[in-house]
Homo-oligomer: A and B are copies of this chain.
Amino acid sequence: MRVRGAPAIGIAGAYGVVLASFEPRSFSREARRLREARPTAVNLAWAVDRMLRRAEREGAEPGQLLEEAQAIHEEDRLACEAIGRAGQEALADRVLTHCNAGALATGGIGTALAPIYVARAAGRDVQVYATETRPLLQGARLTAWELSRAGVPVTLVADGAVAGLLASGRVGAVLVGADRVAANGDTANKIGTYAIALAAARHGVPFYVAAPASTFDLSTPAGDRIRIEERSPDEVRTAGGRRTAPARVAAWNPAFDVTPHELIAGFVTDRGLLRPPFETSLGGAFGGRTLGPPRLP
């Protein structure tokens, strides 16, 4: 968790493969270990696999691999900008986001936060509600910090407040990131996302997922096949570094949940805003089960 945010995890994995290539004898083993370090964010496997294809073509040579890692990094930066532009029509003046899918999670200006930065730069008065995102408080610690530092008005809410917030009419759209999007559009993202999607559906607030192509996993047919990382119970038994519940109490701590595709109004991607049915909108990408390299600007 020193590195978090699916795109940033992918980029870190790519640079990790470069470092591993300095030790040719352990290279394959270390690359495999890197690939499995986090099970849910598909960007990690995607980036490591891409590095290994390069190594297969041209040998595990650090200089070549650094070039590939830097390309992954730069493509992610550009993908964030493309997501920012594509998200303009999904955006409302008051947006709810969850966890952190901003600059601190990517190689650029973020995924879910990118359209907000682009809109603000164009002079649009966009304000953000951010969940604190227990147990690790990425919303309070990262999103609130990142947005307020960038001059974007941000209002923090407890995770439990999302249904009441959406019922209140204060929010015009929900925009979240993703750790893995299955072929049918089911989306794994930070625990708590699914509850937001349910409340958004109930109150007619459109719920969008923002992610680069590297987050779409066409080899996973549906959300029930996505492996969900479970983390230490102590993350839940403590808050702000302090124990809150007795140590003898058990805790269940999945890091992600899966939002079914029918609750998602559209995907804000580096190839534009895709709406269901995705078979059509992805131009054969979902239907034909391929999603080629991003068309960079």
Contact = CB atoms under 8 A, between A and B. Distances in A.
Contacts of A249: 144-145, 148, 154-156
Interface in A214-241: 228, 233, 236-241
| Copies of this chain held together in the complex | 2
Interface stretch (A47-55, A81-89, A134-142, A285-293): A134-142
Interface in A105-161: 129, 131-135, 137, 140-141, 144-145, 148, 153-161
B133 A160 contact: yes
A133 B134 CA distance: 10
A194 interface: yes
Contacts of A134: 132, 134, 158-160, 239
Given A161-B254, A198-B195, A236-B157, A148 B244 contact: no
A257 interface: yes
B245 A132 contact: yes
Interface of A: 129, 131-135, 137, 140-141, 144-145, 148, 153-165, 167, 190-195, 198-199, 202, 228, 233, 236-242, 244-246, 248-254, 256-258
